Structure 1
Amino acid sequence: MSSKGFRIVVAALFLALGHARAGAAAASSGVPAGPDLTVGLRYVPPPFVGGAKVRTPESIETLLAGEVAARGQRRAKFVELDATASSVSMDSVDFAVADLPKSQARQQDDGAIAIATGQVTRPMAIMRTDTDIKSWRQLKGRTVCLAQDGRYVGRIAERYGAIEQVYRAPADSLLALRTGECDAAVHDDTMLKALLRFPEWKKFSASLPPGEAAAQYFLVPAGNEDLAKQLKEMVGRWKSQAYFHKLISDMTRDIAFEVYLDQTVPDCH
């Protein structure tokens, strides 16, 4: 393997294990760790199992939470948010990472301080260039591949009548698209737009216009002004450093490389 390929594999491993970084950082710093920082997430990834294939996640929430925890020399403990709740319960978390429709004004009566991270995503579908699917409504009865940790599992079937096939990670979903197991793959538009810049994805560059935008927020229980201030400062640094652009670019490169390594059969014809 070339040195460049080796660096990409290392980067992918770094991202795949992102949810464990907070504890490791606290343990290796020499500074006593504080109490666990309990973070609410829409999806809590399972622990990495030794010997399993390295897979870059679509969700970046664990990475963000890990950065916050490591900065405070604490370990992040993840709990899953109730996806059916109309608002995020802040009773048992230090903060949460949640998405809200960009058009939806945040209610202020649920005891949370909302801090926009600056990350905005939309569902996007990609397909082979010779597809006959030209609109989201034409996904009805068609097979759509998604990543388990993505934002859109369940939504495409409910809204458009598609047949969803859910895979462990985006690389597996995209590999299934390339080998003809699904008619379309739906992921965040930020990742897919970056993916389609690679020449090897030209054959799969047909797309549907991105759907409704969702903005990502840190939600902090009212009264925890110190943590809210810390999160606002971190978001300010991320924006000044183009953090999300770099993060998504690196993640997409790693995902593309994972697909390349695992594709043992030709693209569908």
Structure 2
Amino acid sequence: GIIEPAYWSSGPTLLAKDGVIKDWKDIAGKPVCGKQGNYYNKQVETEYDATIISFTGNTEAKQALRDGKCIAWLYDDAPIMADLASGEWEGYEMAVPVLYDNPWAAAVPLAEVDKAWGVFMSGMAYRWQSSGKLVELEKKWKVKPSDWVAEQHEKAQWDTSYLQGGN
């Protein structure tokens, strides 16, 4: 079963040439490469008036972007960050914030969700958020900071002023 809290989140963003896109509204009326079957294609097309050109594979979609057939590639931010870190996408950037955050969570055997292993993993995920470990790991691995991770870290902070004593 899935344990809570979630420990990470990802979602759709845009890979584009440096400086071409500043805001999601910049894709209005323009062709955007996408992966066939992604849940967010239609939503982005409707909300931002873009024309999604769907490809069956990522390789084809990314090549179409390089060939100038699209203004951007619409895909999940995690693999886009990996592409940018690979050094093969010099002159490209992920310039817009993630849409429709999709939290990730750890899973344990269903029989363990409320037992030792599930409780342990839930505690670990909470500690990763509350301690700032995930924020540290983003910096260490040069991952673009996630607003979702920062928000979860902030939510996990406890007001301990009552422990100080006094009047």
Helix, strand or coil at the partner of 2:95: strand
Alignment of 1:2-41 (within 5 A): none
Alignment of 1:19-98 (within 5 A): none
**Within 1, Cα distance between the matches of 2:58 and 2:119?**
31
Q: Name the residue aligned to 1:253.
A: none
Give runs of ≥4 in structure 1 deviating > 6 Å: none
Q: Name the residue aligned to 2:14.
A: 125
Q: Which blocks of at least 5 consecutive residues in structure 2 are unaligned?
A: 129-133, 142-167
Alignment of 1:184-263 (within 5 A): 184-205=72-93, 207-216=95-104, 226=111, 228-229=113-114, 232=118
Helix, strand or coil at the partner of 2:29: coil
Deviation at 1:148, TM superposition (A): 2.4
Deviation at 1:116, TM superposition (A): 4.9
**Within 2, Cα distance between the matches of 1:217 and 1:161?**
32
Per-residue CA deviation, residues 56-97 of structure 1 (Å, 9 max, x unaligned), is xxxxxxxxxxxxxxxxxxxxxxxxxxxxxxxxxxxxxxx7xx
Per-residue CA deviation, residues 102-137 of structure 1 (Å, 9 max, x unaligned), is xxxxxxxxxxx7645534103211111252x32101
Helix, strand or coil at the partner of 1:201: coil
**Within 2, Cα distance between the matches of 1:145 and 1:235?**
38
Deviation at 1:190, TM superposition (A): 1.5
1:179 and 1:216, CA in 2 relative to 1: closer, same or farther beyond 3 A? same
Q: What is the one-letter code of the residue matched to 2:102?
A: A
Q: What is the one-letter code of the residue matched to 1:185?
A: W
Q: Is the 8 A contact 2:24 2:96 kept in 1?
A: yes
1:114 and 1:201, CA in 2 relative to 1: closer, same or farther beyond 3 A? same
More relative contact order, 1 or 2 (CA 8 Å, 6+ apart):
2
- Between the two proteins, the alignment pairs up a number of residues equal to 127
TM-score, normalized by length of structure 2? 0.58
Deviation at 1:151, TM superposition (A): 4.0
Q: Name the residue aligned to 1:148.
A: 36
TM-score, normalized by length of structure 1? 0.38
Please report the RMSD computed on the Cα atoms of aligned residues, expressed in angstroms.
Answer: 3.7
Same amino acid, percent of matched pairs: 20
Q: Which blocks of at least 5 consecutive residues in structure 1 are unaligned?
A: 1-94, 96-112, 250-269
